[in-house]
Structure formats: structure tokens, C-alpha cells
Amino acid sequence: MYRSWGWIGVDLFFVISGYLITSILLASRERPGYYLNFYARRGLRIWPLYYLLLFFVFVASPHLGEWANQRLDLRVYHWWYYVTYMQNLILPHLGSFALVITWSLCVEEQFYLVWPWMVRLCSRRGLQATAIGVLAAEPVLRYVLQRWESPMYGYWTFTRLDAIAAGALIALRPRALKHGWIAAPFAYWLLWHKDYNLSYTALALTFGWLVSWTVENGSRFLRWAPLCFIGKISYGLYIYHTIVFVVYWSTPLYKFADGLPWKHAWHLFFQVLMPIPIAAVSWYALEEPILRFKKFFEFGRKTTKDVPALGLQAAEAAD
């Protein structure tokens, strides 16, 4: 049961993303080049690895042997859906093993299309009302889609904004979810009973409280060098991990681990470990050199009047 709960890490990521992106936008919304700099910096961070993944799937994989076979019906899974981040809005299923993770990137990119404009044009009260409204509306919309037996309610953008809204609310009002820990046992109970509709909201509230508490109180653990390194290469870990898993399943190491006591724990250990060196190489060889171009898209000295003090340092580190 617990081994199938790894997906909740995406919900934690959404909360962190909503918090950091909102903090960045609040800190820079009065600066010249607000839109250009934001979108350029996000593109430099997200696009290179994403389009490298698409190149692997649609161009390279047919020539790499059976292990890389994506088994895609290109009459259904058109490449341009993925290039334009539209697959989670159009396709009832996301495609091959390498592409199943891309729905979360679609949610992020579509969030980027709308939220910077709202932060620039709306008051703090309006933004807070929007975040609270999204938190309240999401389970209702998911319930409707479930009743219609829609397969998309789990990754359609308009049904997975709870966690991003929770993160944004923390950036706007730092102690808004100070009692979010109350949702934790409900999240556990809902997950155990496979009620994924309400569990998304319960997880958003739980992780919202966790992120708020962590940023406000700080932690020496969060400054631990190995953890900081994993955070630095985490995007590569996410992009590459499904491909690495498939490779692992076809290696002698998998058969060796399958014969050990507590084999599931060993499989988990190796699957967590194996993507790390690949993501590290990707960071130093590809991502870091590309990110140096961010210097051409600096916001300048950020104003802090609209930014909660607890979020400013983290936001600047993430930008």
C-alpha cells in the first residue's frame, strides 16, 4: 500500500512551487521587465530538460532498442501536444512510461501563464480570495468529474490546483495554514481508503502547514549539504527517474535485489539511488551552464514591501 503513495511528493512540490513562485512575483512586481524576466528565467530552468525528454521519446527511442520502446500510437499521442504542454488537457491517458510524469509540468506551465498577471494586477486581498476559492472549489469539481467517470480528474490542471493555491496563500498570508496539521490524519485515512478526491485537498493543507512552519522556524537539517545537493538536482531526478527505473528493471541488479529479504526495500533503495549520478551529470553538464544566462534577465533590486519576511530568502534562492 505505502509503496504506491510516492505520487504525493508531487503535491508537496506543488505547495513549494506555489509558495516560491508567488513570493518571487510579489518581490518583483513593481520592477521593470517583470514579465520578460520571469518568463525567461522560468524557461531557462524548465524547458531544456523537458524538451530533451521529448527528443528522447519521439526521436531517439525508436533507435535505442527494446528497453527504450515507448509503444506510442502517434495517431493519438501527437508530439505537438507535448511541445505545447497541452497533453493533460486533451489526452485521457498521458502516454508512455517516460511521458507519464509530464502532466505535472503542464500544470506548472499553465499556472505560469496566468498567475504572474494576477499578481501584477490584483490586490493582496484579491489574490488571497482567489487562493481560498480555488482550495474550496477543487474537490467539488473533482467530485463532478468522478460522477461523470472522467479519467482526467487526477491530472487535469483545473482539478489539481489545491496544492499550488495552498502555497500561494502561505506567501500572501504566512500563518493562514498554521492549523493545517489537523488535516494530516484525514489525509492518511483518505489515502488508505483510496479517496483521492478529498485526499488532494487534505494533502494540500497538510503540506501547506509543513512548508509554512519549516520556512518560518528554519531548520539546520534543511541546510545539510547532501540535502541541498539533492534539491539542486531534483528537477533532473524527476525528469529522468522513470527512464532509469525501466533500465533498472532489466539489469542483473534487479534480479539480485529480488532474491534478497525485504526485496521491496532494496528495490526502493536502488531506484532512489540510481538516478542521482545521472541527474548530477545533467546538472553540471547541461543545466548549470544554461542557467548562467539568467544574468541577462535580472529583476534588479527587489522591493520587499509585499513579501512576507519568512519567504524572501527562499524565494530569492529559488529564482
Give the pLDDT score at 301. 55
pLDDT of residue 319: 55
- pLDDT for the residue numbered 170: 95
- Per-residue pLDDT of the chain (319 residues), as tens digits, is 445 677 899 999 999 999 999 999 999 999 999 999 999 999 999 999 999 999 999 999 998 988 888 888 888 999 999 999 999 999 888 889 999 999 999 999 999 999 999 999 999 999 999 999 999 999 999 999 888 888 777 889 999 999 999 999 999 999 999 999 999 999 999 999 888 889 999 999 999 999 999 888 876 777 888 888 999 999 999 999 999 999 999 899 999 999 999 998 899 899 999 999 999 999 999 999 999 999 999 876 554 454 444 444 444 444 5
Give helix 124-147 / helix 162-172 axis angle, nearest 10°.
170
User: How far is Cα 179 from Cα 189, in angstroms, rounded to an integer?
Assistant: 18
Q: Which of 249, 230, 276, 278 is nearest to 53 (CA)?
A: 278
Q: Which three cell numbers stand for residue 245?
A: 527505473
